[in-house]
Structure 1
């Protein structure tokens, strides 16, 4: 009975729209028609023939994979550096967690201003090098995707850091002492003992990074708007643009494709990590 209001809210604002998403994907719903008619799989076949959808889906998968790698590398590195409970480390943990609580749109606009040809990054590089620097950090159709991946990873690395810190704190110091007495180097201790013992933290961080980045919108919208030349147009940006054109059924179909991509790509990766986690522990 106490949970009933929560389930009611969930049903109204999540389950019902999700169910309608499956329905409208098979219709011709748009702002150009007064009636909605079923069209079967026509939306899916048209989108499958469109190179734009395949490109947006590919960019989304590359983006998600890059974020999963860099966000966890940054988070793990910070956790190892700030593991000791000193006053300075506690302060630095707070500093590195601040980006997590900053609005993603605000962070995106800040980096968009910093990375302009006349922005703060190039001004700093000009001072350090002694020569004018006018690099267009967000102007390359090849490398801009890496820039936004790093921005997303920077935004959420504080969360990964906290999860890894919590995992590292659960390791018995006697296990590490035994490894040191047996002659294990710090690198061997990290790879053979510490990382296997925090396997649940790795699984959680990879899962949240994958699911979060595959549904990303705000950071890329604020920094590049999907450009240059649609090289950073994630599927959510493509859906947003299509919906804004009044093509509601096509946008709904794309959101269903994104849902299926998460189900058939992200969840198997999470399952693999869970099996690896059980084998390690």
Structure 2
């Protein structure tokens, strides 16, 4: 009778140091693409992490341009700023500005996405036109609108031609409405990005659900508000969060158009920090930037959590 010969598994007969079939060799592990991340991580560490750490350190010192020594002062900078009404005024202006930008940018972006949803040559061209401001420098956009909105600017000239008389409206000179105008400029610059986000959401919707709504006799308006808009919840979360948090860190548009005026009604916190640092009060400016960092972090968490909860409900 022939006895069956049992061959041991390959793993038990593999010599020591020989990798398993399909496993990366030592040379492959040494040349892994992750090593290419080191230059980027080094730049990120030098220009982001290290300054952020020093930001926390210098906020508790008396660093300024009027003395050569830097001494720790504890929470004196925070106490001094808490007693200053200017800081809280800038915080209030920053929150109002961020809220207005988030509303305008997302409303304009959603309207454009719905109007330009169909894929044809004209819509693609219009999408490209509305996305051009996103690629432009925010500072350049601010200076262009600052020239257009002067009392002797091009906008008043056009209105004068239409009404047949001289128009000298100070579009950036109102202590009540200037912040709304500047927020509209900021939203105009970034609404192309929101448009693309909402377009992506509209294009990835399940067509069987929309087809079922059409078969049931739902009108386009009812289909949008009862089916399509709820399905846009992830896009709304991303777009609203980026618009709100990005505008809280805004600087360029406000600096180019109003420089915080008139009467500091558009002086967002970054403008206040810029002025304070320019006066040589480095520790106070660092403390303000730390306050802004904490404010953004405290607002970001509940806003994103609320929007995520809305996604789960819908």
Question: Do both share a fold (TM > 0.5)?
Answer: yes
**TM norm structure 2:** 0.87
Task: Give the C-alpha shift of residue 78 in structure 1.
Answer: 0.2
User: Which of 143, 165, 169 matches 1:135?
Assistant: 169
Say if 2:67 is the partner of 1:33: yes
Q: Secondary structure at the match of 2:36?
A: coil
The alignment covers a number of residue pairs equal to 280
Say if 2:187 is the partner of 1:164: no
Cα deviation, 1:67-87, whole Å, max 9, x if unaligned, reads 111100000000000000011
User: Which of 219, 231, 239 matches 1:205?
Assistant: 239
- Unmatched runs of 5 consecutive residues or more in structure 1: none
Task: Give the C-alpha shift of residue 2 in structure 1.
Answer: 3.1
Q: Secondary structure at the match of 2:74?
A: coil
User: Which of 116, 119, 139 matches 1:85?
Assistant: 119
Moved over 4 A (4+): none
Counterpart residue number, 2:135? 101
User: Which of 78, 81, 89 matches 1:44?
Assistant: 78
Cα deviation, 1:8-54, whole Å, max 9, x if unaligned, reads 22211111100000010011000111111111111001101101000
Cα deviation, 1:117-140, whole Å, max 9, x if unaligned, reads 111111111111222211100000
Cα deviation, 1:46-68, whole Å, max 9, x if unaligned, reads 10110100000100000001111
Task: Give the C-alpha shift of residue 275 in structure 1.
Answer: 1.6
Cα deviation, 1:231-274, whole Å, max 9, x if unaligned, reads 10110000000000000000000000000110111321111101
Say if 2:207 is the partner of 1:173: yes
Asked which structure has the greater RCO (Cα within 8 Å, sep 6+), the reply is 1
Cα deviation, 1:178-207, whole Å, max 9, x if unaligned, reads 112223222221122111112111111011
Counterpart residue number, 1:263? 297
Larger Rg: 2
Of 177-186 and 191-200, more deviation after overlay is shown by 177-186
Of 252-261 and 4-13, more deviation after overlay is shown by 4-13
Say if 2:258 is the partner of 1:224: yes
User: Which of 274, 283, 287 matches 1:240?
Assistant: 274
Counterpart residue number, 1:274? 308
Task: Give the C-alpha shift of residue 176 in structure 1.
Answer: 1.4
Q: Distance in 1 between matches of 2:39 and 2:207?
A: 45
RMSD, aligned CA: 1.0
Q: Distance in 1 between matches of 2:184 and 2:243?
A: 13
